[in-house]
Amino acid sequence: MLKTTPLHDAHKGLSAKMGAFAGYDMPLYYKEGVIAEHEWVRSHTGLFDVSHMGQVIIEGPGAAEFLERLTPSSFQKKKHGRAQYTVLTNEQGGIIDDLIITRLSEDKFFAVINAGCKEKDIEWIQKNLPDDLKFTHMYDYALLALQGAWAERILHETFQINAHDLPYMHLMEAEALYGSKIFVSRLGYTGEDGFELSIPVSKAVDAWDALMDHPEVKPVGLAARDSLRLEMGYPLYGHDIDSETSPVEADLSWIIGKTNTGFMGAERVLREKEQGTARKRVGVKLLDRGIAREGAEIRGSDDKKIGGLTSGGFSPVLKESIGQGYIESSLANMGEKIFVNVRGRNIPAEVTAMPFVPAKTKSMKKRAA
Amino acid sequence: MAELKYTEDHEWVAVDGDVVSIGITGYAQEALGDLVFVELPEVGKKVGKGDDFAVVESVKTAAEVYSPVAGEVVEVNVAMADDLELIKKPANENGWIARIKIEDPSELEGLMDESKYKEFTDGLD
């Protein structure tokens, strides 16, 4: 039996094509189709229901230190309201999940975790949780993502929330819908400016309806969410990263905090950061017709296997086949000519810098007053 | 006017003597969503009954197109590689993917006619 989000009826009312994702019955696309939705987010503003994702709070004295044990990032000096993309590492330095952790106050942190990893993450965090820290699963909160160039204005027109001075990767608390407290985080999974709104389940339908009533908002399903993140080169857990891949292999070394040496799996991760890895995650673009998807082999000019795609598909913006995968590190150079084998045929391709399409997210710096 | 038959895999088959033109039905197009690529076979390719001879790719997935008859590919719709919109057209307006010269016309007998196919797809929803 598939689980549902508080907006399940709303999606059905919009004639969404539904499909199973991480145990949830979720909208894959609505009436206009994946490409139209993708282009709408890139040119206007789209609304996503991502309430299947997990929202948790970790709080108490030493919460920052605890997060530096669970992740390779630094949290002790993070400013209040600052959000950090990071990963939970296991003892072998593999990735348990990727997530965004936001410092709400000195000893209180808010994290958004992948739907498919929820149970595993919660068990892992609770197993390692020091006695004086408190863990809360905000199962009674929905999560909406408003993504696109007009998001700031739409947020203001719909909820009278002024996020003008909120920089990228920052969170503010706000009141909406007659006094409900919500979290407004300026981030997302699309590469556009936009927000994720953490809203009590009791107000989720009202919030969705209010945003949908805005003439410039269209609903966007998980299929376009995937093609949008693919154009940005963002990894998808369970595909591009998993319990075997380390953050260094995954080309996520930038999340490793300079002062954090005591996290789970640090031995492998820091050694790899110093000495390099045998393989590395890269972007791949086909130079000829065809669509290369997850599982396709990457081959050298001698037809020898040198890696494999972990994600891939059609880019609605570039009208080309793009993907990401792992390749021998000695070949992980921008412009390196390779082949991707699709149904027995070697299609010419090249190693490409990510994002494939320029990100339009705002500056992380505080704006001038 | 060629006779139209349908498969359970949602191909339509336009029969004209010993040559059939094969395309995919509106039902298949609807199920696949936005189409982005068609991989055409080579002329001269031999196909067995039930073999795939082309691949239609949508944003989310790749779907094989099967031949309900054994035979040889005698013509491919090269215009479709540049204009995927053609796949939505009927057989007589260049909506076909490939033409296959059939070996055994009796293999066509098991296929559905239009009203049977409609019944079939109605039962799927």
> Residue A30 pLDDT more than 80?
yes
- Give the 3-state secondary structure percentages of chain A, helix then strand then coil, rounded to 5: 25, 35, 40
Question: Which CATH topology does B3-118 take?
Answer: OB fold (Dihydrolipoamide Acetyltransferase, E2P) (2.40.50)
Assess: ipTM above 0.90. no
Q: In this complex, do B59 and A17 lie within 8 Å of one another by their Cβ atoms?
A: no
Cβ atoms of A8 and A50 within 8 Å: the answer is no
pLDDT at A53: 98
User: Residue B52's closest chain A neighbor by CA?
Assistant: A343
* Residues of A with Cβ-Cβ distance to B64 under 8 angstroms: none
Q: Does residue A344 contact residue B42 with C-beta atoms inside 8 Å? A: no
Provide, as residue numbers in chain A, all residues whose Cβ is less than 8 Å from the Cβ of B52: none
A148-172 pLDDT, tens digit each: 999 999 999 999 999 999 999 999 9
Q: How confident is the model at residue A178 (pLDDT cuts 50, 70, 90)?
A: confident
| Structure token pair of residue A289 | 């017709």
Tell me which chain B residues have a C-beta less than 8 angstroms from the C-beta of A33: 33-34
pLDDT digits (tens, 9 = 90+) for A194-245: 999 999 999 999 999 999 999 999 999 999 999 999 999 999 999 999 999 9
Residue B61: C-alpha distances to residues A292, A294, A312, B36, B88 (Å): 10, 11, 10, 10, 18
Closest CA to A110 of A192, A54, A186, A152: A54
The Cα A124–Cα A224 span in angstroms is 31
Antiparallel, parallel or unpaired: β A320-328 and A305-315:
antiparallel
* Mean pLDDT for all residues in chain A: 96
Q: Across the interface, which of B33, B37, B60 has its CB nearest the CB of A290?
A: B37
Chain A to chain B Cβ contacts (< 8 Å) = 37
Among B33, B39, B81, the residue with its CB nearest the CB of A33 is B33
* CB spacing of B33 vs A343 below 8 angstroms: no
Domains in chain A, please, with CATH?
278-352 (2.40.30.110)
Q: How far is B106 from chain A (nearest CA, A)?
A: 31
Answer whether B36 sits within 8 Å of A29, measured CB to CB.
Answer: no
Cβ of A291 within 8 Å of Cβ of B37? The answer is yes
DSSP-based three-state secondary structure for A125: helix
Residue B70 structure tokens:
């054994």
| No. of helices (H) and no. of strands (E), chain B | 3, 9
Convert the pLDDT of each residue in A234-272 to its tens digit: 999 999 999 999 999 999 999 999 999 999 999 999 999
Q: In whole angstroms, what separates CA A37 from the centre of its chain? A: 18
| Strand A141-148 with A45-49, pairing | antiparallel
Which sequence spans correspond to the domains of chain B?
3-118
Per-residue pLDDT band for A177 (boundaries 50, 70, 90) equals confident
B78: closest CA of chain A, how far (Å): 13
Determine contact, residues A283/A351, Cβ cutoff 8 Å: yes
Q: Which of A21, A30, A32, A34 to mutate to test the interface with B (most CBs of B within 10 A)?
A: A34
What pLDDT score was predicted for residue A365?
Answer: 73
Q: What is the mean pLDDT of each run of 10 residues along chain B (125 residues)?
A: 88 95 95 93 96 93 95 97 93 94 93 95 86
Set of chain B residues whose Cβ sits within 8 Å of the Cβ of A17: 33
Q: Cβ(A96)–Cβ(A90) under 8 Å?
A: yes
Query: Residue A17 pLDDT > 90, yes or no?
Result: yes
Q: Which two tokens stand for residue B64?
A: 């094989």
Q: Which of residues 3 through 62 in chain B touch A, CB cutoff 8 A?
A: 33-34, 36-37, 39, 55, 57-60, 62
Q: Give the pLDDT score at A367.
A: 54
Whats the size of chain A, residue-wise? 369
pLDDT of residue A89: 98
